Amino acid sequence: MARLYDTAKSTLALRQRKRFLLSQLKILPDSLRASLVERFSRCGKTNCHCHHGGDKHGPFYYLTQCLAVGKVNKFLFKATAQQQAARTGIDHYRQLQEQLEELSQINAELLRRQENLGHD
Ligand SMILES: [Zn+2]
């Protein structure tokens, strides 16, 4: 679900907010639509402590990317640098998505007011 932005403003204020958003929009080269998940797991050795009430192994970090229903890309990221790069890229993608969502909600409200959406 999308976050709801405040569009109960004057048309002038919405246009100013829109101009600001457009000035901020930037696609960063590391943008990444994915999640970085932390997992602990049991190994294949049945005599290992992890099978006998001991701590599981980990944490392991996986990048997961949902491509379609039932189709998920999953990569194990062992290197700390990979994990950090993933976190940053995911954050950049999320910021871009939020800015686009706010722009979209403003545009819907402007259209409802029968305003022009083009350049002003
Ligand atoms: Zn084990």
What integer pLDDT is reported at residue 38 of this predicted model?
96
pTM of the model: 0.84
Give residue 49 CA to ligand 1 midpoint distance, Å: 6
Give residue 71 CA to ligand 1 midpoint distance, Å: 29
Mean pLDDT per 10-residue section of the chain, whose length is 120 residues: 91 96 96 97 95 96 95 96 98 96 97 87
Contacts of 117 (CB under 8 A, 6+ apart): 107, 110, 111
Give residue 116 CA to ligand 1 midpoint distance, Å: 63
CA distances from 12 to 7, 21, 25, 93 (A): 11, 14, 20, 29
What integer pLDDT is reported at residue 119 of this predicted model?
66
